[in-house]
Structure formats: structure tokens, C-alpha cells
Structure 1
Amino acid sequence: MIAIYARVSTEEQAKHGFSIPAQIRECQNLIGEAEALVFSDEGVSGETLQRPALNELRRKIQHQEIGTVYCLDPDRLSRKLLHQLLLTEEWERQGITLNFVLGDYSKTPEGNLFYALRGAISEFEKAKITERMCRGRREKARQGRVLRDFQIYGYDFDPKSEQLVINPAEAAIVKQIYIGLITTPLETRSISGIARALTKAGVPTKKGAKKWHRQVVKQILCNRTYLGEFYQNKWNTSGHRVRLRPQEEWILIPCPSIIEPEVFSEVQGILASLSVNSRS
């Protein structure tokens, strides 16, 4: 059986027009009249091998249901050279014929070299795109503009001004959460208790969920945005892990405050004592 694999990330489709239908059409033109199974990952980064359609294709190849794979270009398989070579070697071991619309890579030393070079260039291009995007986001943040809607409870994102604005109804709940923790008697004070109370009262979360979880309440109680301090460039999301950047790299965006500093400070002290008590 013949298979077609197509992939596009959101940024690639917007910039280059690498639509899924266009890739499938080009592959089908090369195949001719023969029937082909289509495996497509839309809006998925080429930096990871964990993609639903690719996983299904690899599973079918492993079960000997596929004999030939067509793809527009090696960078549709992956933006990483190592991943391209891994897939190529894996499928060659299983007797799969791999064909690309854009380029004929013969199984010769020269062909293998050109294939590797093409993959290295693709990986370099992706890295440069990411670098430019990150630089653009940092510059935008330094101008005091909020990059997107970060879904912070108590605030709405105004796309025209690119600023956070207070959501009055949610801001009232935020104040209720803070004051509730402070005024609850010590013996019954808990973050889980606040979450249960909000759920019982029918208060929806930012995403419209009916149930509040302890971790969501804790994030609200620890979030300095409510002091009017919203930080961008705080997290490094490159690669497969999200890492906290050094504090000197954070970019402060002032925003309307909801909680008074003395209230926020008192709550942090309570949270610290709750943490100590839970460990003892």
C-alpha cells in the first residue's frame, strides 16, 4: 500500500502556503492513479516526532501495511536532521521506499550527503525563524505591549491597546479568594476549601469550567500580576521543556492592580505556613 505523509505548522502555512491539500496534491501527481492512504499532521511542529498522524504511519509500517511513502520534502518529515535520518533509517530497515516530490535523493554516497545537507539547512532555517520570532516578541514586550491573551483570571486582553484590562466580575472573585484565605479560621484554613467553595457557588473558571482545582486557586494566590506586575519573557519554551528564565531577563509590563500590596504580602505568609504545616 502507498502512503502520503503531509505536515504543516501554523507559522509555515501562514508564511509559505504549505497547506495540507497542496502537499497531498503534489504527492498524488507523482504517484499517478494509484490509491494512497493519507496521513496528515496540521498545526504540528516539525521539531518533535510525537505527532498523531506520523505515529499512525509508523505503526502501519511496523505492521507491514505500507510499502511506499511519498512526502513533499524531507522537512515535512521533520525540521531536525537527526529525526529525518532516524525515520529514513527506520523505514529502510523495514523495506520501505521513500519518495520526495522536491528532490530525488539517490542511494549513493553523493545522494546521502545531499540529503543530510538538505536536512541540516532545514534545521538551520527553523532555528533562525525561531530566533527572529523570539527577538520580535521581546522587542514588543519592551515596548510595553502584551503579546497575547494569557487567560489570567481577573483580567481581559484588549487586542487594540495590547494591554490587560480588569474584568470587574472576575476581579471581585479574586479579592474574595484573597480575603477568604486571610479571614478563614486557622484550623479550617485551606486552599482546597476555597476551591470547593467556588465550585459549590457555581463560579466558572477562566475557561468556563464548573469545577475549581486547588492548583488553580494557588496560582491566583501567588500571581504578582494582581499587584500590577505582569512579566513577559519569564519562561523559556524552546525545546521540549518549559524553563524559568533568570529574573534579570524578565520584562515587566505594568497593569491595573487588583490586590493591595499588604494583602498580597499577608497571603504569601499564610501560604508559607500552610506549606510548612503540610510537611510536618
Structure 2
Amino acid sequence: MRKIAKPAPAADSSRKQAVIYARVSSKEQEKEGYSIPAQLKLLKDYAAAEGFMVAQDYVDVETAKQTGRAAFGKMVAWLRAHPDVRAIIVEKTDRLYRNLKDWVTIDELDIEIHFPKEGVVLSRESRSSEKFMHGIKVLMAKNYIDNLSEEARKGQQEKAEQGIWPTKTPLGYRNVTGADGRKVIAVDPQVAPIVAKLFEWYATGEFALKEVAKKARAAGLVYKKSGAPVPTSTVHSILRNRLYTGWFEWNGKLYQGKHEPLVSVEAWERVQGVMDGRNASKHRRMTHDFAFSGLIACGRCGCSVVGEIKKQKYIYYHCTGYADKCRDKPASCRRKYVREEVLEQQFTAMLGRLRFDDEVLAWVREALHASHADERREHEEAIKRLQAEHKRLGERISAMYIDKLDGKIGGDFYDRFAGQWREEQQRLQRDIGRHEQAEQSYMDEGVRILELARNAQALFERQPAREKRRLLNFVLSNCSWEDGEVVATFRQPFDLLAETTAIAARSSAGNGDNSSKSEIWLGN
């Protein structure tokens, strides 16, 4: 991260001012051609052409998936402290944010956002259709990041199937590079004996969990990086972890690892028996999965509204009444109940406000495809770079093989480096596939979000309780209940979709003009 501050000259104080923001996801991406200097040049040229004086430059070299980016946070703080600067210039939507919290943060600043590559300027005065299209792009960017995470999980699954522990190394092991150049785990000679002792102590049944944790700390069991003593909760996790037997569970399946075990399977099972025996009296009572519990707050006191079964078949909801003003009062809102069917009818009616016709879906899909041209070009450029690197490594392996045949290098040397380069080629090939898939899935996600919104009402009516709750959490926020009525707000951009749908419906009812509907939705 770096930040370049450029205070405005006093002579230009009358000119409109803006901050510019540039971002790449990683140092590697910056090297691969997503150039910060190129972004800054584009943004500064745009500012000059539009008559803006650049008050501050902010640059992040980190992902926008998570909140808390350093320069982004400083930019927001600076804009809050300088209410006279009301504009941000950033290359395109996913450079500014790929998570919903940052989107809301920027929206609350009430400023103009200029996206030169998208040809879009957003402000409070923008049409609801423009804000809606922007919101869909933010959700598309978020889901694109989620897809990348899914690809990372696929890589972990591949490692698991090969018997390689695919994630963070547990206490007792350390990361090393294997003979084939791959990252594997090996026994940590300092910590492993203490971990083995843990199982030995607890398997006897003579020590409580806190006691063996205390013995382990006395023996020197600490976290590798910080050197802090290991708490009892971590000792519990160690004793439950099958990895120490040479086997491990991943995504619900059991795999035999290639690493050296620290304890026998029999010893591990004895430990599980001791732990299960001590926990036998702690089984929890099964509870009913109510569709709307935890989703709604009481409109009077703010307490949660929860479900309750009456007469073994009817589901009613009521305020928990935990607030002080609710307790021991005859008029307590806890004493008021509402049937689940009533809440369901009201939520169903709300979701119906998102419904729009096939013609509108086709218009918006076309607009999304047009706005995706730049994203598609970046994927194509990334694929070309990855293919060139894949070819270069292949040529290296071929040249080194000839050197091996000529006796210039030894077989061990060839095997080690060829293994590392082939593994790198496999990674590159996965990245190529990821870009090829993401280029299409990016658009698919946008269309799926639209289809989810327009079909939300029908989906809600036929889904089980858990899925009803998930759908409502995705689309609605700030749900409350008072005097038999549910009040909720749509999350962005579904609030804009509901608003645009209502405007289009009123316009259509007024004059039946199809062109006016197109203008409302797409701002033509």
C-alpha cells in the first residue's frame, strides 16, 4: 500500500476537487500487467478532462474481498474530514469494492463516483436504474471473488486426494518442501513429542482436560509464531484431530496422509472414548427449525421475535421480552403472538415487489454484457500471460532434459527442478481454466442475481424453513414486527430494483408505452 498526498494549491481552491483511487489485488497482479501507473494515468487524464483538481491519490495493493484495506480506509476518513471534496475517480466498480460493506460505506458519504472505464458517474441524483445496474455489478464482483475462493477450495481438495494436508499446519508439524518440490507437512522435532504425550496422558482417563493442558504448557507447548502458551481449547482441538494418526478428514471424507503419524489409531480412538464418555451428559435437546427465528426484531423494544409450537402443530411467534421495559408488565409485547402463516404471507407480498417481466430481463442482460467488455478483455490478457509462462517452463524442461542426456546435469538435479516446474505448469493451467470459467461465470452470476430477484416470491413459497430464512436474509434487512405488521427494507441493490419495478408499473398503467418502460429501466 502507498498513499501519495497532493494538497491543492491555494490559487485553485475554486476548482472542483476529487480524490483518485487505484488498486490491484496483489504484488503478483501488479507485476502481471494490472499496472498501478497505468491506472493513475487514466484517472489523472480523466480528472484533467473533466476539470477536476486531484486533491489526494490513494493506492492499495490488496484484495477488495475483505473490508479494512489500508488506503481505502484512509481515503474514507479523509473524505469525511473534508466535506468540500465530493468526488472519487476510480477505474471501474470492482477496483473500488468487491464486498457489500465497503459499498455501503461509500454510499453513505453522499459523493459522486466517476468510473472512466465504464463511462458511468453515480451520485444521489442518478436515476434508480443506474444505481440498480451499479448494484448488480457490485454483487457480480462479490460473487466473482466467491468463485475464486471456490477454485482455491478445489485446489485444496486435489491435495487432500493425494494424501497431502491442504491447509494450515497444526502444532506438532511444520511445512517443508518435498523431494518433488511440493509443500508437505513433516514432524516438528521440538513440539511433536509433547503432542504425543498429550494423547498418552489423556488416554489413561486419569486427567481432566485442564490438567493435561497444564502439563503440556509446563512441558513447553506454545504457539510457534507468538510463543504464547497454548490454551485448553487448543489442547481439546489437538486431541480431537485425527491428523495425528496419519489419517485426516476433509470435506466429510477420510484420507490416508503421506505424513508421519505421531500417535497410533488405537491411541487416538481411546482418547475419543474418554472424551465422549465425559461429554455423555451434555447432549443438547433438539429444537425445531423455525423459518423466521432470529430474523425479526420487536418493533417496540428491539428484542428478538422467536417461534414457539402450540398444541404440537401450530407455530406462533412472539417477542422474547428480554428488555427491561418488557418484563413484569401486563402490556408486555411478549404477550402478543402472531401465526407463522401471517408472517409468511407478508414476506411473500414483499418479495412480489421484485417481480419484473422477461422483456426487462432481456434488456438488463444486454446492458450487463455491454458493460462487461473491459472485464472480458482483462481475462483474455491474463490467459495470454499465463499461457506464455506455461510455454516458457515447458521449453526449460525440454532444454534441461537435453542437458541431462548430454551428461551436463545429474538425474537428481533434473528430477528436482523438472518436478517444481511441472507443478508450476499445473498451477498455471488451473489459473487459465479459472479465468476461462470466470469470464463466463461473471456474467452468469449477474443474470442469476436478476433471476433470483424476479423469482424470489415463487422460490420463497415452496422452500423449507432454512432456505426461506436464507433467501430473506439475502434480500431483506432490518426486519421488525409490531401490531401484527412486518416492516423490512430491501438490501442494495434490491431496494433499487423494487423502486424501479414500481415506477415502471405505474408508467405502464398510465400510458402503456413500451419505450417509456425501456427508458425507466435502462436510462436510454
Give the match for residue 239 of structure 1.
Answer: none
The alpha-carbon distance between structure 1 residues 181 and 18, as it changes in their structure 2 partners (threshold 3 A), is same
Residue pairs, 1:206-217, within 5 angstroms: 206-217=224-235
Per the TM alignment, residue 63 of structure 1 is displaced from its structure 2 partner at its CA by 4.6
The alpha-carbon distance between structure 1 residues 162 and 103, as it changes in their structure 2 partners (threshold 3 A), is same
Work out the CA distance in 2 between the residues paired with 1:198 and 1:6.
49
Q: SS state of the match for residue 179, structure 1?
A: helix
- Are the aligned partners of 2:19 and 2:56 in contact in 1 as well (CA < 8 Å)? yes
The answer to which of 1-10 and 174-183 deviates more is 1-10
Structure 2 regions of 5+ residues with no counterpart? 1-16, 284-524
Work out the CA distance in 2 between the residues paired with 1:75 and 1:39.
15
Q: SS state of the match for residue 262, structure 1?
A: helix
The alpha-carbon distance between structure 1 residues 28 and 193, as it changes in their structure 2 partners (threshold 3 A), is farther
The alpha-carbon distance between structure 1 residues 204 and 194, as it changes in their structure 2 partners (threshold 3 A), is same
The alpha-carbon distance between structure 1 residues 261 and 53, as it changes in their structure 2 partners (threshold 3 A), is same
The alpha-carbon distance between structure 1 residues 180 and 141, as it changes in their structure 2 partners (threshold 3 A), is closer
Work out the CA distance in 2 between the residues paired with 1:173 and 1:227.
15
Q: SS state of the match for residue 99, structure 1?
A: strand
Q: Are residue 74 (structure 1) and residue 93 (structure 2) matched?
A: yes
Amino acid corresponding to residue 257 of structure 1 in structure 2: P
The answer to which of 108-117 and 128-137 deviates more is 108-117
Work out the CA distance in 2 between the residues paired with 1:146 and 1:266.
23
Per the TM alignment, residue 223 of structure 1 is displaced from its structure 2 partner at its CA by 0.5
Q: SS state of the match for residue 169, structure 1?
A: coil
Amino acid corresponding to residue 276 of structure 2 in structure 1: A
Partner residue of 2:117 out of 92, 102, 108: 102
Partner residue of 2:255 out of 252, 258, 276: 252
Per the TM alignment, residue 57 of structure 1 is displaced from its structure 2 partner at its CA by 3.5
Give the match for residue 272 of structure 1.
Answer: 276
Residue pairs, 1:185-196, within 5 angstroms: 186=206, 189-196=207-214
- Are the aligned partners of 1:12 and 1:18 in contact in 2 as well (CA < 8 Å)? no
Instruction: Work out which of the two has the higher radius of gyration on C-alpha atoms and give 1 or 2.
Output: 2
Q: Are residue 163 (structure 1) and residue 184 (structure 2) matched?
A: yes
Work out the CA distance in 1 between the residues paired with 2:101 and 2:190.
49
Residue pairs, 1:131-150, within 5 angstroms: 131-148=150-167, 150=168
Give the match for residue 323 of structure 2.
Answer: none
Q: Are residue 198 (structure 1) and residue 197 (structure 2) matched?
A: no
- Are the aligned partners of 1:227 and 1:260 in contact in 2 as well (CA < 8 Å)? yes
- Are the aligned partners of 1:84 and 1:119 in contact in 2 as well (CA < 8 Å)? no
Q: Deviations over 1:91-124 (max 9, x none)?
A: 4xx2x12122423215468865764665565456
Give the match for residue 194 of structure 2.
Answer: 173
- Are the aligned partners of 1:230 and 1:252 in contact in 2 as well (CA < 8 Å)? yes
Per the TM alignment, residue 72 of structure 1 is displaced from its structure 2 partner at its CA by 1.9
- Are the aligned partners of 2:27 and 2:61 in contact in 1 as well (CA < 8 Å)? no
The alpha-carbon distance between structure 1 residues 138 and 183, as it changes in their structure 2 partners (threshold 3 A), is closer
The alpha-carbon distance between structure 1 residues 143 and 28, as it changes in their structure 2 partners (threshold 3 A), is same
TM-score, L = length of structure 1: 0.70
- Are the aligned partners of 2:20 and 2:54 in contact in 1 as well (CA < 8 Å)? no
Per the TM alignment, residue 24 of structure 1 is displaced from its structure 2 partner at its CA by 4.2
Per the TM alignment, residue 225 of structure 1 is displaced from its structure 2 partner at its CA by 0.4
Amino acid corresponding to residue 112 of structure 2 in structure 1: T
Per the TM alignment, residue 154 of structure 1 is displaced from its structure 2 partner at its CA by 1.8
Per the TM alignment, residue 45 of structure 1 is displaced from its structure 2 partner at its CA by 3.6
Give the match for residue 246 of structure 2.
Answer: 228
The alpha-carbon distance between structure 1 residues 5 and 172, as it changes in their structure 2 partners (threshold 3 A), is same
The answer to which of 154-163 and 50-59 deviates more is 50-59
- Are the aligned partners of 2:194 and 2:219 in contact in 1 as well (CA < 8 Å)? no
Structural RMSD (CA): 3.8
- Are the aligned partners of 2:246 and 2:262 in contact in 1 as well (CA < 8 Å)? yes
Per the TM alignment, residue 74 of structure 1 is displaced from its structure 2 partner at its CA by 0.9
Q: How many residues align?
A: 255
TM-score, L = length of structure 2: 0.41
The alpha-carbon distance between structure 1 residues 157 and 251, as it changes in their structure 2 partners (threshold 3 A), is farther
Percent identity over the alignment? 23
Partner residue of 1:10 out of 13, 26, 29: 26
Per the TM alignment, residue 267 of structure 1 is displaced from its structure 2 partner at its CA by 1.5
- Are the aligned partners of 2:30 and 2:36 in contact in 1 as well (CA < 8 Å)? no
Q: SS state of the match for residue 4, structure 1?
A: strand
